[in-house]
Amino acid sequence: MSFACPVCGFPGLDEAPRDEHGCASFEICPCCGIEFGYEDAMTSHSELRARWIAGGKRWWSYKGPPPDWDADTQLTRINE
Ligand SMILES: [Zn+2]
For residue range 17-31, what is the model confidence (pLDDT) as tens digits? 999 999 999 999 999
Domain of 9 in residue numbering reads as 1-60
Residue 2 lies in a domain: yes
- Between the CA of 36 and the centroid of ligand 1 the distance, in Å, is 9
User: Would you say residue 44 lies in a domain?
Assistant: yes
Distance from residue 19's CA to the centre of ligand 1 (Å): 17
Does the residue 66 lie in any domain? no
* Residue-level pLDDT at 1: 81
Tell whether 67 is covered by a domain. no
Apex CA 14: angle with CA 51 and CA 41, to 5°?
40
Query: Rounded CA gap, 32 and 8, in Å?
Result: 6
Across the range 8-14, mean pLDDT stands at 95
pTM: 0.92
Quote the number of domains for the chain.
1
- C-alpha of residue 57 to centroid of ligand 1, in Å: 10
Quick check: 80 pLDDT over 80?
no
Ligand 1 centre to CA of 48 (Å) is 9
User: Positive or negative, the Cα torsion across 53, 27, 17, 47?
Assistant: negative
Q: Does 74 fall in a domain?
A: no
Ligand 1 centroid distance, CA of 23 (Å):
18
Q: What is the mean pLDDT of residues 54-73?
A: 96
Q: How much distance in Å is there from the Cα of 55 to the middle of ligand 1?
A: 13
CA distance linking residue 18 with residue 80, whole number of Å = 15
pLDDT at 77: 87
Determine, yes or no, domain membership for 54. yes
